[in-house]
Amino acid sequence: MSVEIFIEPGRAERNYWKDLWRYRELFYILSWRDVKVRYKQTIIGVVWSVLRPLLTMMIFTFIFGQVAKFDSPPGISYGLLVFAGLLPWQFFATGLSEASNSLVGNERLISKVYFPRMIIPASSVITSLVDFLISLALMFGLLIWYQTVPSIYLVFLPLFIIMAFLASFGVGLWLTSLNVKFRDFKHVVPFIVQIGLYISPVAFTSDKAASIIPAKLHLLYYVNPMAGVIDGFRWCFFGDKTPIYWNGMFLSLAVIIIFLFIGIRTFRKMEKSFADLI
Amino acid sequence: MSEIVIKAEGLGKKYIIGHKATRGYKTFREQVLQHVSNFYSRTKKLVSGQEVLEGDQLEEFWALKDLNFEIERGDRVGIIGKNGAGKSTLLKVLSRITEPTTGKVFVKGRVASLLEVGTGFHHELTGRENIFLNGAIMGMSRAEIKRKFDEIVDFSGVEKFLDTPVKRYSSGMYVRLAFSVAAYLEPEILVIDEVLAVGDAEFQKKCLGKMQDVSSIEGRTVLFVSHNLMALSSLCNKGIYLKNGQVRSQGGIEETLSQYTREGMESLTTEWIGNTGDEYVKIYRTKVFCAESPHGFFTHKDIIIEIEGEILKPVYGLIIGFWLFSQFDYQLAYSLFDDTDPSMEIKMHETGKFLKRFIIPANTLAQGSYRIQFDFGIHNLKLIVQNKECDLEFSVENIAGLGRKYLVDHKGFRSLFRTSWSQEKF
Choose among B92, B119, B141: nearest Cβ to A275. Answer: B92
pLDDT band at B198 (very low <50, low <70, confident <90, very high): low
Whether residue A25 contacts residue B142, with contact meaning beta carbons closer than 8 Å, is answered with yes
Whether B177 contacts B149, CB under 8 Å = no
What is the per-residue pLDDT for B201?
Answer: 67
Task: Give which of A15, A34, A114 to mutate to test B binding, by max B Cβ within 10 Å.
Answer: A114
| Pairwise pLDDT comparison (B225 vs B296), residue with the higher score | B225
The dihedrals phi and psi of B43, each to the nearest 5 degrees, come to -65, -40
Question: For A175-187, what is the mean pLDDT?
Answer: 86
pLDDT at B34 over 50: yes
Mind listing the pLDDT tens digit for each residue in B236-260? 889 999 988 889 888 888 888 888 8
Does the pLDDT value for residue A158 go beyond 90? yes
Grouping H, G, I as helix, E, B as strand and the rest as coil, residue A76 is coil
Q: Do B165 and A40 touch (CB under 8 A)?
A: yes
Distance from chain centroid for Cα A258 = 16
Condensed to tens digits (0 to 9), the pLDDT of residues A213-231 reads 887 788 888 999 999 999 9
Shortest distance, CA B135 to any CA of chain A (angstroms): 9
Q: Which of B105, B119, B124 sits opposite A41 (nearest CB)?
A: B124
* Residue of B92, B99, B181, B193 to mutate when probing chain A, most A C-beta within 10 A: B99
Rounded to a whole number, what is the distance in Å from the CA of A131 to chain B's nearest CA? 20
Taking an 8 Å cut-off on Cβ atoms, the answer to whether B108 and A3 are in contact is: yes
Q: What percent of chain A is modeled with pLDDT above 70? A: 97
CA separation for the pair B120, A123 (Å, rounded)? 15
B125: closest chain A residue by CA = A37
Rounded Cα distance between B133 and A29, Å, is: 6
Question: A114 touching B, CB under 8 A?
Answer: yes
Name the pLDDT band for A261 (thresholds 50, 70, 90).
Answer: very high
Q: Are residues A175 and A99 in contact, defined by beta-carbon separation less than 8 angstroms?
A: yes
pLDDT of A207 higher than 60 = yes
Q: Is the separation of the CB atoms in B281 and B374 below 8 Å?
A: no
Out of B15, B49, B100, whose CB is closest to A7?
Answer: B100
pLDDT level of residue B195 (50, 70, 90 thresholds)? low
DSSP state of B165: B
Query: Higher-confidence residue: B16 or A172?
Result: A172
| pLDDT at residue number A218 | 83
Residues of A in contact with B121 (CB under 8 A): none
Closest-CA distance, A44 to chain B, in angstroms, reads 17
Q: Is the pLDDT of residue B306 over 80?
A: yes
pLDDT at residue B426 greater than cutoff 50: yes
**By the 8 A CB rule, do B178 and B121 touch?**
yes
Q: Rounded to the nearest 5°, which phi and psi values hold at B386?
A: -100, -35
Using alpha carbons, list the distances in angstroms from residue B274 to B382, B391, B394, B398.
21, 12, 19, 32
Q: Is B121 within 8 Å of B133 (Cβ atoms)?
A: yes
- Interchain CB distance below 8 Å, B119 and A109: yes
For residue range B410-420, list pLDDT tens digits in order: 555 666 666 66
Strand B303-311 relative to strand B352-360: parallel, antiparallel, unpaired?
Answer: antiparallel
B96 vs chain A: nearest CA distance in angstroms?
Answer: 6
Contacts of B34 (CB under 8 A, 6+ apart): B26
pLDDT in tens, A54-110: 898 889 888 888 888 888 888 888 889 999 999 999 999 999 999 999 988 888 888
Q: Nearest residue of B to residue A107 by CA position?
A: B120
Instruction: Give domain limits for chain A.
Output: 18-277
pLDDT of residue B298: 86
* Interface mutation vs chain B, best among A112, A180, A273, most B CBs within 10 Å: A112
CB of A12 less than 8 A from some CB of B: no
pLDDT digits (tens, 9 = 90+) for B65-103: 898 999 988 888 999 888 888 888 898 888 888 888 888
String of DSSP letters for B337-373: TTTT----PPPEE-SEEEEEEEEE-TTSBPSEEEEEE
Provide the pLDDT confidence category of residue A159 given band limits of 50, 70 and 90. very high
Q: Does A254 touch chain B (CB under 8 A)?
A: no
pLDDT tens figures, B43-56? 776 666 565 555 56
- Domains of chain B (ranges, CATH numbers): 15-62 (no CATH), 64-265 (3.40.50.300), 271-411 (2.70.50.60)
Global ipTM = 0.81
Nearest CA in chain A to B129: A33
Residue A108 and residue B97: Cα distance in Å, rounded?
11
B138–A40 C-beta distance less than 8 A:
no
B→A interface, C-beta within 8 Å: 15, 46, 49, 51-52, 92-111, 113, 115-116, 119-120, 122, 124-125, 129, 132-133, 136-139, 141-142, 165, 188
CB contact under 8 A, A25 and B99: no
Question: How much is the pLDDT for A1?
Answer: 42
Distance CA B75, CA B94 (A): 15
Q: Which of A76-80, B7-11, B207-211, B310-314 has the lowest mean pLDDT?
A: B207-211
